[in-house]
Amino acid sequence: MECVDRARSAWPRYAALPLRERMRVLRAMRRSILQRGDEIARAISQETGKPELEAFAHEVLVVAALLRHYQRRAPRLLHTRGAAPGLLLHKRALITREPLGVAAVISPWNYPFSLVGIPAVCALAAGNAIVVKPSEVTPRSGALFVEIARDALRGAGCEEAAQLLQGAGDAGAALVDAPVDVVAFIGSERTGIRIATAAAAHLTPCILELGANDAAIVCADADLERAARGVVWGAFSNCGQACVSIERAFVERPAYARFCELVVAEARRLHRSIPPTDESDLGRMTFPPQVAIARAALDDAVSRGAQVLFGGGGEGLAFEPTILADVPLDAALHTSETFGPLLPLAAVESAEEGVTIANRAPYGLNATLWTRDHRRARRLAQMLESGSITIDDALVNFSVSSLPYGGVKRSGYGRLMGDEGLLAFTRTKSILEPRLRLPREPVWFPYAKRGPLVRGLLRRLLSR
C-alpha cells in the first residue's frame, strides 16, 4: 500500500529526531489547531450536524490539550530508566522505550477530529509515523488533522510521516492487512472483532475502543437538580452519538419520581435547530443508518411496554431527545449500544442494585455516579465494571489528558491518552551492562569446585 510505504520510508528519520525536536512538532501542531480552531469546528459541524461550540469544546480543545500534555510529559516517559539488577549486583540494568514504527489509525464519524487526533497524537508523541483512515461519512475533518500534522512535520523534514487514506470499510481492511506495526481502532464492536482477527494473522498489536452502553447511577442523596441537568447533557450531547454518552439511568426509588420530573423539564428547555446555530443545544443526527438503529431501539422498547415520558418524534435526521420509563431490562436499550438521543430511566431499590444491573451489560467503557457521599461514590466506582467513572459529572473525563481512556469486556482493550496511551505505541528494550567488570562471572564454566560456594551465596542473597 503506497501510503504505508511512504510512512515507512519517513519513519526512521522522524524516530531519530531528538526528543526536543519531536516536542517542537507537537507544539507546532497545537498552535496550528488553536489558530484554525473556528475553521475546524465549522467543518466538524457541517459534517456531523453538531453545534460549532460543541465541536470546538469537545474536539478542537481536547486535541490541543493532549498535545500540550505530551509536550510536557513525553520526555519523562520516554527517557531511559534504571531497573534493579536482581542478584547481579555488579551489573547495571536499563530499560529504554522505542516507537513501534507505522501506526494505523482508523476512526469513526461521531467525533471525527478528536477521535482521529487522540490516537494519532499518542503515536506521534511516541515517535511513530501514522496512516490515518477517517470515516467515509466525515472525510474532511480527518483530513484537516493530517494536513496540520504534515505542516508541522515539514519543519523537521518529516512531512511524509503522516499519511491520509480515504475510503470506506474496504480501505480500512486493506490498511490492517498492510505491513503496519500497530492498529488503533475506534468504532463498533463488530468491526473491531474483524480488525483484531485480521491483525492477528500478522501478529500486529491492536488498541480497540469499541461499543458501550454506559449507565448513570443516581443516589437518593444526590443534588437532583444538578444530576438531572448532567444526565440530560450526558445523554443528549451530540444527539447521544458518543461512546461515553449516558445510555440509561438507574435511580434510587425515593428520588425516582422527582428525578423523572426534573429530567423531562430539563429536556423541554433544549433548543434544537437544523442546521445548528449559535443558540442551539442540539443539531441533527449524523447520517440515516444511525437514525435507523436508534429508531429501532425505541420501537423495540415501546413494543415491550415502555412509556415515553418525553419526545419520541422527529423526521429524518431530526430525532427528538427521548426519555422513557418502564423499559424491560432485556430490551435493546439496556443490552446494546444505541448511539442516539434516547434515555431510559429505571427505579432501583439501591445504588448497589443499579450497579449490578449495569454490570450485566456486555460492555464496560464509561459510567457516572451522582451522590453527595463521595466515600460511597468511591466504593460504588470500584464495583462498576467500567474503564472510566465520573462522579457528579458526565462526558468531561474524556477531556482530561492525563487520564487513560479505554474499556473492559466487549468495549475493547488497550488505552489511549494518559501515560498508558503514549506507552501503548512503544516497546521496551532491556539492556544489561557491566557496572563492575569481573575477570570471570560466578556462573560461567567451569562448574567444578564452585558449586557449593555459588549455591550458598545465592541462597543467602535470596533469603534477605
Q: Are 344 and 312 in contact (CB under 8 A)?
A: no
Query: Which residue of the set 47, 52, 209, 266 is catalytic?
Result: 209
131 phi and psi, to 5 degrees? -125, 115
In three-state form (DSSP H/G/I as H, E/B as E, the rest C), the secondary structure along the chain is CHHHHHHHHHHHHHHCCCHHHHHHHHHHHHHHHHHCHHHHHHHHHHHHCCCHHHHHHHHHHHHHHHHHHHHHHHHHHHCCEEECCCCCCCEEEEEEEEECCEEEEECCCCCCCHHHHHHHHHHHHCCCEEEEECCCCCHHHHHHHHHHHHHHHHCCCCHHHEEECCCCHHHHHHHHHCCCCEEEEECCHHHHHHHHHHHHCCCCCEEEECCCCCEEEECCCCCHHHHHHHHHHHHHHHHHCCCCCCCEEEEEHHHHHHHHHHHHHHHHCCCECCCCCCCCCECCCCCHHHHHHHHHHHHHHHHCCCEEEECCCCCCCCCCCEEEECCCCCCHHHHCCCCCCEEEEEEECCHHHHHHHHHCCCEECEEEEECCCHHHHHHHHHHCCCCEEEECCCCHHHHCCCCCECCEECCEECCECHHHHHHCCEEEEEEEEECCCCCCCCCCCCCCCCHHHHHHHHHHHHCC
Residues 6+ apart with CB under 8 A from 375: none
Catalytic site residue 243? yes
Query: Which residue of the set 158, 206, 243, 260 is catalytic?
Result: 243
Catalytic site residue 158? no
Q: Are 275 and 42 in contact (CB under 8 A)?
A: no
Cα–Cα distance for residue pair 88/432, rounded to 1 Å = 10
Give the sign of the dihedral formed by CA 364, CA 368, CA 373, CA 374: positive
The residues that are catalytic are: 209, 243
